[in-house]
Amino acid sequence: MADVYPTSVRLSAEVKAAVERAAKADDRSVSNLVERVLREWLVRHGHLKLERSKP
């Protein structure tokens, strides 16, 4: 696993509840879901290169 660094963000109650529901529905932790969504956004907008898995 790559190095991970804890961080915190402020969310409205509405967004926090929605993230928790989405994570539960997708059988993920909130942290995992937030990283996945953020990574996808960063790649889509050219801020992060897509990592290719090695065969």
Determine phi and psi for 13, rounding to 5 degrees. Answer: -60, -40
The better pLDDT of the pair 55, 5 is held by 5
**First CA to last CA distance, the chain:** 17
User: For the whole model, what pTM was predicted?
Assistant: 0.81
In this prediction, residue 55 carries a pLDDT of 58
* Tokens read off for 7: 């961080």
In this prediction, residue 17 carries a pLDDT of 98
Q: What is the pLDDT of residues 4-54, one digit of tens each?
A: 999 999 999 999 999 999 999 999 999 999 999 999 999 999 999 987 765
DSSP codes, 1-53: ------------HHHHHHHHHHHHHTT--HHHHHHHHHHHHHHHTTSSPPPPP
Determine phi and psi for 33, rounding to 5 degrees. Answer: -65, -45
